[in-house]
Amino acid sequence: MSYPLSGLKVLDFSRVLAGPFAGRMLSDLGADVVKIEPPEGDVTRYWGRVIAHLPGYYHQQNAGKRNICIDLRQPSAKDLIFSLVAEADIVIENYRPDVMTRLGIGFDDLKRVNPRIIMLSISGFGHDSPESKRPAYAPVIHSEAGLIHRSSVEALDSGIESHFQDLPLSVADTNASLHGLVGVLAAVILRSSTGEGQHIDIAMIDATI
């Protein structure tokens, strides 16, 4: 069977949900996705029910990906990453906006190695926000966007006793991931005529609102 994204190569530096969810969908569509983990591994390796020695959360979001370990803090890591980027089409990351640049592997660094590279960055508040350096898991975004308040008010209006509590699913993560994936696929199509990649900066707060 031929898959629509067969031939595309993806480097997935992301962790937890927002980034890995996009990488999982790219893999499902046929892309060759390589997950790059630090020595301590993605924290979700410790989450979820373990069946046959496999933690459910991690394997749900990373099924179909290949995997390598790189310590980004080591001086030699940058050259290794550049060699991978030279052969890649897409890079996914969801660190705080200053991290990749500080490590010398931000978009400007990568496009010098490969002008066709498409980079998807997912963060809580985006790269050019006054709050860009704030770490943000989904509950923070749910709160700031008003979803937690709204769900409580809706329950009270329906006669249900309600307290402020987080949503039962990570809407901020998956919405940002889906919006990011649309941007990535649009960038792949545009690149076929321009020959140039793009940096797609997705803020979870924007996607949620």
Cα 76 → chain centroid: 24
| d(C-alpha 107, C-alpha 197), whole Å | 10
Q: List, in sequence order, every residue forming a beta bridge with 92; answer none if it has no partner.
A: 12, 120
Annotated catalytic residue 173: yes
Specify the residue for token string 């290949």: 66
The one-letter amino acid at 67: N
* Assigned token pair, 92: 């996914």
Q: In the 8-state DSSP scheme, what is residue 43?
A: G
Catalytic residue among 12, 32, 89, 173: 173
DSSP string, 75-139: TTHHHHHHHHHTT-SEEEE-S-TTHHHHTT-SHHHHHHH-TT-EEEEEESS-TTSTTTT----HH
Cβ count near 49 (within 10 Å): 8
Cα 145 → chain centroid: 20
**Active site residue ranges:** 173
